[in-house]
A and B are shown apart, each in its own frame.
Chain A
Amino acid sequence: EVQLVESGGGLVQPGRSLRLSCTGSGFTFGDFGEYGISWFRQAPGKGLEWLGFIRSKANGGTTENAASVKDRFTISRDDSKSIAYVQMNSLKIEDTAIYYCTRVQVLKFGVPHWDYYYMDVWGKGTTVTVSS
């Protein structure tokens, strides 16, 4: 069974940094490195917010980020360890949330701009609390 496990959450003061990890296992068809990984968050009692994703190396390994966190959050990956990361800097109280990573499936229609991305496996999440 494919699993993603987030870790690294906790209580952090405003202005500090935190790095979350997303560790993959059980990738029967293909390995961790063949998939994109995306990060989402959910503030207490709120809906879902996309933060960004990183493509597989085969698809360029490039990242896309939400404008709301673009200057503070950086997504990376280490396929040798089956881990993706999100480095979060200058944390704000409003960054308090459950953070989820997901596996990104890509459907290709022959033209790069036609690629369809969807999130077929979600981790259970890790909680980040930003408070003084």
Chain B
Amino acid sequence: DIVMTQSPISLPVSPGEPASISCRSSQSLLHGNGYNYLDWYLQKPGQSPQLLIYLGSNRASGVPDRFSGSGSGTDFTLKISRVEAEDVGVYYCMQALHTPPFTFGPGTKVDIK
């Protein structure tokens, strides 16, 4: 199975400041069609996860443009340009290429300083 890692595990951020989360996969997620089969999900406190980014860099419907996904192959980044209080929670990356199974990173907890 593909192993996903994330860093940092915990990320305290001041409101209005940028934030960056790294995700790495044990094998390339770049498909022969040129797309990266990687999603980002956010699980806010007490809630179920929600889709933020699919295909590595495409924002899901309703996701603010302060969120962006980038990267290719085995290295990916989720960036929040200016963190807001509502962005706190645990962020997970998930690979969707070498399936089954779909596998997640361990999560990065973002909270406000």
Contacts and interface: CB of A to CB of B under 8 A. Distances in A.
Contact of A66 (B49, B54, B100): B100
A100 B48 contact: yes
Interface in B52-82: 54-55, 60-61
A116 B96 contact: yes
Interface string A69-104: 000000000000000000000000000000010000
Given A50-B104, A118-B39, 19 more contacts: A38-B102, A47-B106, A47-B107, A48-B41, A48-B43, A48-B107, A49-B104, A50-B100, A50-B103, A64-B100, A67-B100, A100-B49, A114-B33, A117-B96, A118-B51, A120-B51, A122-B48, A122-B50, A124-B47
A48 B6 CA distance: 14
A117 B99 contact: yes
Contact of B31 (A47, A114, A124): A114
Interface residues of A, number: 25
Interface of A: 38, 40, 47-50, 52, 64-67, 100, 105, 107, 109, 114, 116-120, 122-125
A105 B104 CA distance: 18
